[in-house]
């Protein structure tokens, strides 16, 4: 699991514009509230192989920003808070845990190590 955790967080967790809609396959989306209450979707990463990888990317966004994040991946909502990472087929649907607590701790440790590495100015070294 440790290699998986590090592999999941490699790459940028920053959001970037991507042509298409939140229904585009294998794209990890972040759902944000825009002005006027409308939802705005921003791509976090493309060519994502599964929901767990998207959830790990969204966990990185949550850790960097220090606030809950909601995302979408192939028609599933992902809800990332300090307490848990959950997924559901609809905003109000039944939510299921994406990571077991021990797996999430490993993912968070990998993300934190990358953030510490970047903060020390060692990016790319």
Tens-digit pLDDT profile for residues 47-92: 999 999 999 999 999 999 999 999 999 999 999 999 999 999 998 9
**Bridge partner residues of 33 (DSSP):** 39
The encoded tokens of residue 25 equal 């396959």
For residue 43, give every residue at least 6 positions away whose Cβ sits within 8 Å of its Cβ, in sequence order, or none: 15, 16, 17, 18, 27, 28, 29, 30
Contact 30, 70 (CB under 8 A): yes
The pTM for the full model equals 0.78
Give the E-state strand segments of the chain in sequence order.
27-33, 39-46, 69-73, 76-80, 85-88, 96-97
Q: Report pLDDT for 20.
A: 43
- Average pLDDT over the chain, rounded to whole? 83
The whole-number pLDDT of residue 5 equals: 38
């Amino acid at each position: 699991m440790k290699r998986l955790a590090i592999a999941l967080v490699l790459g940028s967790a920053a959001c970037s514009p991507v042509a298409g809609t939140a229904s585009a396959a294998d794209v990890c989306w972040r759902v944000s509230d825009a002005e006027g209450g409308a939802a705005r979707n921003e791509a976090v990463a493309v060519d994502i192989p599964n929901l767990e990888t998207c959830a790990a990317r969204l966990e990185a966004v949550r850790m960097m920003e220090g606030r809950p994040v909601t995302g979408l991946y192939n028609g599933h909502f992902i809800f990332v808070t300090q307490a848990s990472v959950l997924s559901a087929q609809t905003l109000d649907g039944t939510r299921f845990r994406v990571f077991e607590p021990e797996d999430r701790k490993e993912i968070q440790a990998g993300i934190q190590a990358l953030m510490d590495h970047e903060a020390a100015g060692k990016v790319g070294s």
